[in-house]
Amino acid sequence: MDHLKLTEDKLSVEAISELVGDSSCGAISVFIGTTRDNFEGKKVVKLEYEAYEAMALKAFKDICNELRGRWPAVHGIAIYHRLGAVACGEASLVVAVSSAHRGPALAAAAHCLERLKASAPVWKREHYAGDLAPHWKENPECSPTLPPHRSPSPSPPRSPDNTTDTNLIQINVSNEELQQRIQNFIERKRAQVDLSNIVDFIPGCGESDAQAQDADTCARVRTQFVKRSDSKGHLKIRRVHNEWGPQVSC
């Protein structure tokens, strides 16, 4: 069973370990990530965590599925991550994995940490002692960018390797959904063309069906509006008015 949670409450390592424990398991591998009090010579007083919660929990679940696919012997998985302010020495992340033997539990727990760093949209803000400004950071392995309302410390500008045209629209959908959207667009355009043809060619030019059938003339041809059950066509041409050539009867 998977136990996944984002919380502002303090993490209990013992309680989380008990969640994955089972009489069939002889090993529980636990990792505890704590707030250290220094970073690159600066005194850290606390960390502040923020996440896209729905996306983060989905990433946690995807990681659990990956672990179970690679190590079928894994029994229980728990991923608990703190949000909000976390003081120095307190746990910000607890990962616990249980299995019958230590090998799968140790390997799965280690892989879980790497995947969390690479895919979970969780960011931290370091608060320093003195007059130093706090700094929002993300894991260097993590692909999602920082939230729009957060920004890291200024860095020297650099020229982008690949500039995306802001006029382009990118749609992230499955191929099936994209094909359905295209089909819906085609059907709408066909309906518009059909309506335009009726207005142009049916006597009455856009009037109701009854009015159209009673009308004598049309801008292009003399026709009768006939709904046929055995065909998709609705036009019965009586005579084409061609002032520039011979008259053709149909």
pLDDT digits (tens, 9 = 90+) for 16-56: 999 999 999 999 999 999 988 888 888 888 888 988 888 89
Q: What 3 state SS string does 25-41 have?
A: CCEEEEEEEECCCEECC
Greatest C-alpha distance within the chain? 98
CA 80 to chain CA mean position, Å: 23
Q: Give residue 140's pLDDT.
A: 46
**Stated pTM of the model:** 0.56
| The pLDDT value given to residue 133 | 79
Q: Assess contact for 74 and 55: CB atoms under 8 A.
A: no
Identify the residue whose tokens are 């895919």.
Answer: 119
Higher pLDDT among residues 90 and 193, named by residue: 90
| Rounded distance between C-alpha atoms, residue 205 and residue 213, angstroms | 11
The model's confidence at residue 102, banded by pLDDT at 50, 70 and 90, is very high
C-alpha triplet 12, 18, 19: angle, nearest 5°: 95
What phi and psi values does residue 206 have, to the nearest 5 degrees? 100, -5
CB 44 within 8 A of CB 36: yes
pLDDT at 163: 59
> What is the strand order of the sheet 27-34 is part of?
2-7, 74-82, 91-99, 27-34
How many other β-carbons are positioned within 10 Å of the β-carbon of residue 49? 19
What's the Cα-to-Cα distance from 241 to each of 25, 204, 213, 218, 246, rounded to whole Å? 90, 16, 18, 10, 9
pLDDT at 169: 63
The dihedral formed by the CA atoms of 25, 28, 29 and 30, expressed in degrees to the nearest 10: 150
Task: Give the strands of the sheet with 248-249, arranged side by side.
Answer: 221-225, 235-240, 248-249
pLDDT in tens, 49-77: 988 888 899 999 999 999 999 999 999 99
Say which DSSP state 134 is in.
Answer: P
Task: Kindly report, residue by residue over 144-169, the tens digit of the pLDDT.
Answer: 445 545 544 444 444 455 555 666 66
Whether the pLDDT of residue 2 is over 50: the answer is yes
Hey, what domains does the chain have and what are their CATH numbers?
A: 2-137 (3.90.1170.40), 175-249 (no CATH)
pLDDT in tens, 175-190: 777 788 888 888 888 8
